[in-house]
Structure 1
Amino acid sequence: MKQPASRKAGARSRQRALWLLLALLLAYLLIWPLSALAALALAWLGQAPSEAVLSSSIAAFVLYPPLVLWLLCVRRRVLNSLWLGGVSLAMLAALRVLAEAG
């Protein structure tokens, strides 16, 4: 027995909404450690800490929307999401090591 078209459309819209939420969270998971590492690098290069944080925050605001759009439009969603999550976790681990070191 086939499912009604309205039931299939409802399941498809829930799947799209879930993917949108996942793309937003994954992009944030990448931007968060990226901006923190950028702020640390800018401060290490001699920029004032407040300016380093401001510069990296502005860069994060600029990079976040294209990253979300890329995640929504990419063909291999699962593979790219796993890569993005792995890179994010590696950056978070690097931040933790840097925080403990100094």
Structure 2
Amino acid sequence: MKNDSLLFLWAKLSTIIQEASIGMPVIMYEPGDLRIETGAGRPFATVRIQRSHVGVYLLPLYYHPEILPAVLKPRKTGKGTLRFTEDADSVIDEMPALIERCRAMVGHY
């Protein structure tokens, strides 16, 4: 784990993503690193603590950027990457809706 101080933020984001991804296989679940795949074995989501942020990596978002809600656009740092630095960030509440949109794209990437 690169930054222990981000563990609470990682736990919050990981819980949200796991709850919205019920039924999908969890490949890795260690403090600071969560990886979820589709039933077909394709990467779906990763939540990982980095040096100064918690990164959320969503493969469906990479292929279908139009599914990203406008309120989350300031957190987007790569084609399928969102960056969070504070657990009190109000846009985190939009993550369940984004994960549902990502689930709808499974099989289309």
Same fold (TM over 0.5): no
Higher relative helix content:
1
In our comparison, the structure showing a higher alpha carbon Rg is 1
